[in-house]
Amino acid sequence: MESIVLIGFMGAGKTTISKELATKLNAQVVDMDDVLVERIGQPISDYFEEHGEASFREHETNLLKEALNEESVIATGGGVILQKENQQVLSDKLVVYLKADANVLVKRIREDKVNVRPLAIKNDDGDLKRLFFSREKLYEKLAKITVDTSEKLPKDIVSEIIQQVEVAS
């Protein structure tokens, strides 16, 4: 099995879908945010504040390359697509863009009390939407498969991904 890389904005469902998809495919899951928190020894928001975004993105790129060597379902962070190096690394991989409506994303981000996102803390809803729109074209460009997660159940999203992966293979 080739690794399946899930990309998308915060709140698109990457963590949830990666777990369900990995279970269905009997594959390991790499949630990059979880692994990075473990490696850097502190929450991402604290690391961002202390060391800056550039340092964090370097850790993220190294982990992405490492994770792609395994056969796994990879849940990336929402900003992984910003680095040119990551764009090149992902250009020939099986990348699935979990797309959702901007209003749905903001609602999910605001309601999620477990995953407090650094960019959500310091940005209002309008800023989050602008951030999403600024990244949207990159997500679309890198994706081999796009699945809208706005109004679907995780099990239906997983089925759709599996179906499209089989078609793409």
The whole-angstrom separation of Cα 5 and Cα 40 is 22
- Tell me the pTM: 0.93
The beta-strand segments (E) located in the chain are 4-7, 28-31, 72-75, 94-99, 145-148
CA separation for the pair 49, 69 (Å, rounded): 30
State pLDDT tens for residues 66-87. Answer: 999 988 999 999 889 999 999 9
Residue owning tokens 């790129």: 61
Going across the sheet that includes 28-31, the strands are 28-31, 72-75, 4-7, 94-99, 145-148
Of residues 2 and 143, more confidence is placed in 143
47's tokens: 């690391």
Residue 57: exposed, middle, or buried by beta-carbon count in 10 A (0-12, 13-18, 19+)? middle
For residue 123, give Cα distances in angstroms to 130, 131, 137. 10, 9, 21
pLDDT band, residue 1 (cuts 50/70/90): confident
The stretch 5-27 carries a mean pLDDT of 95
Distance CA(136)–CA(140), nearest Å, equals: 6
Confidence of residue 46 (pLDDT cuts 50, 70, 90): confident
For residue 166, name the pLDDT band (cuts at 50, 70, 90).
confident
Each residue of 102-156: pLDDT tens digit? Answer: 999 988 887 876 666 666 767 788 888 999 999 999 999 999 999 999 999 999 9
> If phi over 0 gives left and psi between -120 and 50 gives alpha, with beta otherwise, what is residue 118?
alpha
